Chain A
Amino acid sequence: MKIKNKQFGEIEFETNSVISFSDGILGFEEYKQFLLLSENEGSFFWLTSIDEPELVFPLFSIKLLEEECFNEEEVEPFGIVKLAKEPENVTINLKAPVFIDRSAKIGYQKIIDNEEFKVNYPLFVKN
């Protein structure tokens, strides 16, 4: 199957690579079917709606920030990222991670009830 958007052009995918978000993403509950795209050598992922291909959430694996952060097996935690040209302005949402089970092809966004996790956590810091 194929979808097309401005950021990636034409995207060809197998139906078995579709990830179902039965509750959608908060604020975007009507979109339930997504692709998890990645590019060579990139650490970012792109959660792309099949129903509305222009809807793309940049994701970053939270495991790269803290390996023991979440221990749910099979389920990978990602943070939705707000990109910016200046590294110090790029933030990741640790308060409401997107959990994806790539083998079961399901995903969900969950708010963590803990004040330590920030909505706008800086992804990069100066060396």
Chain B
Amino acid sequence: MLILSRKENQKIRIGNNIVINIVSLSDNSVKIGIEANKNVKIYREEIYESIINSNKEAAETIKDSIPTNINSFKLNKINKDDKKK
């Protein structure tokens, strides 16, 4: 792995079309700006991993395991008021 030291507002260029900017530094986090073409997908690694794992787990469940006894249940509607909290 290539490791570079950068100061605030210094940049790293990857290939012709991607620029990484160190926007600001604080004690335990760093703000990073990324300039890239729109078709370049940028994800936080832990979220990307969680989606891949979730997709894999979902693909292993089968339609025979659709719950049949849902009489005492209802759809868990997305509540806008909850989301604002």
Chain A interface residues toward B at CB < 8 A: 6-7, 23, 25-28, 44, 46, 55-58, 64-66, 69, 80-88, 90, 93-96, 109, 111, 116, 119-127
Contact of B55 (CB < 8 Å), options: A6, A28, A44, A87: A28
CA distance A5 to B72 in the complex (A): 33
Docked complex Cα distance between A119 and B51 (Å)? 7
11 inter-chain pairs at a CB distance below 8 angstroms, sorted by A residue, are A7-B63, A26-B52, A27-B52, A57-B58, A65-B75, A93-B55, A96-B51, A96-B55, A116-B83, A119-B50, A124-B74
Nearest-CB residue, chain A, relative to B68: A85
Whether A86 and B67, one on each chain, are in contact in the complex, defined by CB atoms closer than 8 angstroms, is yes
**Distance of A91 from chain B, by nearest CB (Å):** 8
Contacts of B55 in A (CB 8 A): 25-28, 57, 80, 93, 96, 109
Residue tally, chain B, CB below 8 Å to A: 32
CB distance from A115 to the nearest CB of B (A): 10
Q: Are A83 and B51 in contact (CB under 8 A)?
A: no
Q: How far is the CA of A119 from the CA of B55 in the complex (A)?
A: 10
A81 to B10, CA, bound (A): 43
CB contacts (< 8 Å) of A90 on chain B: these are 67
